[in-house]
Amino acid sequence: MTGGASASAEHDELRQVVRKFLGERSPSHAVRRLMAAGEERDHEVWSLLAGQLGLTGIAVPERFGGAGYGPAELAVVLEEMGGALLVAPYFATVALAGQALTASADEDAMARWLPGIADGTLTATLAVAEESGAWDLAEVAAAAEPAGGGWAVTGTKLFVIDGHTAGLLLVVARAPDGLGVFAVDGGAAGVEAARLDTLDPTRALASVAFNGAPAVRVGVGRDTAAWLPQVLDLALAALAAEQLGGAARCLDMAVSYAKVREQFGRPIGSFQAIKHKCANLLVDVECGRSAVFHASAAAATGQPDAPLAAVLAYTHCSQAFTRAAKECIQIHGGIGYTWEHDAHLYLRRAKSSQLLFGPPARQRARLAELAGI
């Protein structure tokens, strides 16, 4: 298959390193073992990924122990992780919580938590969605009240990625003066988290109930409305990158199989019906790659069209990934319909990712709005 959404030789190199690492450390059987055991990660893999490769710190500013890169490099890593279906709290910790802390520009908060994220000792997540499941700030009902010198958070968050294992929960809640982000220790009193049974067993989602949980406000002194929406856009762009990786992997699997599986005395890839399916998927993947590249570059440099670019990438890659996963099953025939083949794991991941940040209808409506329609 082709390379990736790389701007530079540096990106290519990063991609190769991550791909090789995941190929060795997160092959299918490892993914399945974690999945079956319901574990959130392989600790050895996590420490290598954080320590040796420095991937947890990739988007963390250097002064907080990271490599100081941004969304574009993170996208490269996430694409590879999506391709490997890595079971680890990476997306939640790095793409959600890490980027949220950085975007908050809250020196105290950054100094307190980013070094832990960068060196892999702290896992974290961002809790936005509630009853409706949508990542829509207007629907946030969780409340934060001043308590003692800090805050107390009350409310229930749903579909929180790695919400039951995260060391740090960044909770979007309503304070008397408006929307805010509140840092709650995963083990704090008044926090009750439970994993949900969802379509995708490779990504843990949890419901987290907060009952007067002690919290620290993040982004004090700054208008949350000025930076939190950007965090959500970064999240969309990041998820799109991960989806792109999944789609590309499905295409790879389908093409490799179509080359070797013979029926009627020739490879099934020689039948035009199969060729066209694969070609359509390549069109999807290549367009997705451009969309992801555009979205992460726009987010990195704070372009005014960054929100549009993010929704666009998410919408396109959601579709590309689900389609690729379905065609991958179809092209594999009976084998693609088995539990043992990985195709369904990608379909499960694709379908859940498509819904995770709000279903397609909502995203399309937002896209139209952002495009000025």
Partner 1 sequence: MRFDYSQELEDYRAAVRAFIERHGPGARKHVGVRAPDPDQVPALRAWVARLYAAGYLGQTWPAAYGGRPGATIEHTFIVAEEIARARTWGEIGAGALAAGAVLAFGSEAQRQRYLPRIRSGEDLWCQLFSEPGAGSDLASLKTRAVRDGDHFVVNGQKVWTTNGHHADLGYLLARTNPDVAKQAGITAFALDMRTPGVDVRPLREITGTSDFNEVFLDNVRIPAEAVIGEVDGGWRVANASLGHERSGVSARAVELYAQLDDLVELARRTTTAAGRPAIADGATRQRIGRLAALAHVTDVMSKAVRSRIANGTEDAADGPLAKVFFSEVNLAMTECGVALQGVGGMAVEGDRQAYADGWWQDAYLYARAYTIAGGANEVLKTVVAERALGLPRDKR
Residues lying near ligand FAD in the complex (CB under 6 A) are found at 261, 263-264, 268, 271, 273-274, 330-331, 333-334, 337
- Does position 275 interact with partner 1 (CB under 8 A)? The reply is no
- Does position 351 interact with partner 1 (CB under 8 A)? The reply is yes
Residue 142 φ/ψ, nearest 5 degrees: -55, 145
**According to DSSP H, which parts of 206-305 are helical?**
224-260, 272-300
- Does position 136 interact with partner 1 (CB under 8 A)? The reply is yes
Q: Are 332 and 341 in contact (CB under 8 A)?
A: yes
* Binds 110: which of partner 1, ligand FAD, none (CB < 5-8 Å by kind): none
Q: Are 81 and 22 in contact (CB under 8 A)?
A: yes
Alpha-carbon gap, residue 124 to 170, rounded angstroms = 8
Alpha-carbon gap, residue 332 to 327, rounded angstroms = 8
Q: How far is the CB of 106 from partner 1 (least distance, A)?
A: 29
- Does position 179 interact with partner 1 (CB under 8 A)? The reply is no
Neighbours of 68 (CB within 10 A): 14
- Does position 77 interact with partner 1 (CB under 8 A)? The reply is no
Q: How far is the CB of 84 from partner 1 (least distance, A)?
A: 20
Q: How far is the CB of 320 from partner 1 (least distance, A)?
A: 15
In this structure, the dihedral spanned by the alpha carbons of residues 126, 207, 79 and 293, taken in order and rounded to 10 degrees, is: -50
What is the helix (H) or strand (E) element at residue 43, kind and residue range?
helix 43-47
Alpha-carbon gap, residue 356 to 373, rounded angstroms = 25
* Binds 158: which of ligand FAD, partner 1, none (CB < 5-8 Å by kind): partner 1
Q: How far is the CB of 323 from ligand FAD (least distance, A)?
A: 15
- Does position 198 interact with partner 1 (CB under 8 A)? The reply is yes
Neighbours of 123 (CB within 10 A): 24
- Token output for 283: 């069109």
Please identify, using beta-carbon distances, which residue of 198 and 280 lies nearer to partner 1. 198
Query: Which residues neighbour 126 within 8 Å (Cβ) at sequence distance 6 or greater?
Result: 92, 96, 97, 100, 161, 170, 172, 231, 235
Which part of the chain contacts partner 1 (CB under 8 A), choosing from 17-25, 144-152, 301-309, 326-334? 326-334
- Does position 159 interact with partner 1 (CB under 8 A)? The reply is yes
> In this structure, what DSSP letter does residue 2 have?
-
**What is the per-residue binding string for partner 1 in 248-267, x denoting contact by CB under 8 A?**
--------------xxxx--
Residue number with the shortest CB distance to ligand FAD?
333
Residues that contact partner 1, how many (by CB under 8 A): 43
Q: Which residues bind partner 1 (CB under 8 A)?
A: 129, 132-134, 136, 158-159, 196-200, 205, 207, 262-265, 271, 273-274, 326, 329-330, 333-334, 336-340, 344, 347, 351-352, 355-356, 358-362, 365
